[in-house]
Structure formats: structure tokens, C-alpha cells
């Protein structure tokens, strides 16, 4: 299963993903958050990192406690989605068909 198929499966199990981007980690462990993904994250803002198995969620520290239960639920649902994907469940389609499907939403 390729990345495009995984994105579609995520969407079909009702996880909201507004944007997807790719970055890489430096030899010093630094990761650049792409400009189009930063939103209102500013230089010097502290971020909370939530990791469960192979997934990482970043959240601004000042917003963290406001919705901790929702963040943990999102992490749980994300883990469940990956289990479904790894088990071969879901709908497979090419990227162009995926975009057409997303435009219907």
C-alpha cells in the first residue's frame, strides 16, 4: 500500500487532516515545520510532543491542557487507523481519484 492509499483510508475513517507535508530530521535531531504547516506557531513558542508507537503529534504548550482529552482521543484514533491500514482494510485508489473524492467533502 502506498502513501496515497493510506491518506485516503485515514480520511474515510473520519480523521480530519487539513494538510499533509513532508520534512526530515537533521543529524542534530532538528525538524523543520514547513511554512505552510506552521499556522500560528511562532518563533519561541513551546510545543508539546505526544508520541504513541510510530506517530507524533505536536501541539502548542499554551493550548495543550485546553483539550488534552481530545488530543489523546485523536492519538488513539490515529493508532487504530494505522492498525486498520496495516491489516489491509480500507479502499484503495490512485492519487487523482483520491483528490476528486476529497473535493466532494
State the pTM of this model: 0.46
Give, as one character, the DSSP assignment of residue 90: S
What integer pLDDT is reported at residue 26 of this predicted model? Answer: 93
pLDDT (tens, 9 = 90+) of the chain, 105 residues, equals 555 555 555 454 444 455 678 888 999 999 988 888 888 899 999 998 888 777 788 888 887 766 677 777 887 888 888 888 888 887 777 888 888 887 877
What is the DSSP annotation of 22-72?
---B-TTS-BPPPHHHHTT--TT--EEEEEETTEEEEEEHHHHGGGHHHHH
What integer pLDDT is reported at residue 61 of this predicted model? Answer: 82
To which residue does cell 491500514 refer? 85
Buried b (16+ CB within 10 A) or exposed e, 79-92: eebbeebeeeebee
Amino acid at each position: 500500500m502506498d502513501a496515497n492509499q493510506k491518506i485516503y483510508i485515514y480520511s474515510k475513517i473520519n480523521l480530519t487532516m487539513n494538510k499533509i507535508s513532508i520534512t526530515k530530521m537533521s543529524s542534530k535531531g532538528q525538524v523543520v515545520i514547513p511554512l505552510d504547516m506552521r499556522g500560528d506557531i511562532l518563533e519561541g513558542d513551546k510545543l508539546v510532543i505526544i508520541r504513541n508507537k510510530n506517530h507524533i503529534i505536536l501541539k502548542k504548550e499554551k493550548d495543550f491542557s485546553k483539550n488534552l482529552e481530545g488530543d489523546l482521543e485523536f492519538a488513539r484514533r490515529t493508532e487504530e487507523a494505522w492498525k486498520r491500514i496495516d491489516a489491509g482494510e480500507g479502499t484503495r485508489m490512485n492519487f487523482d481519484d483520491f483528490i476528486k473524492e476529497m473535493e466532494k467533502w
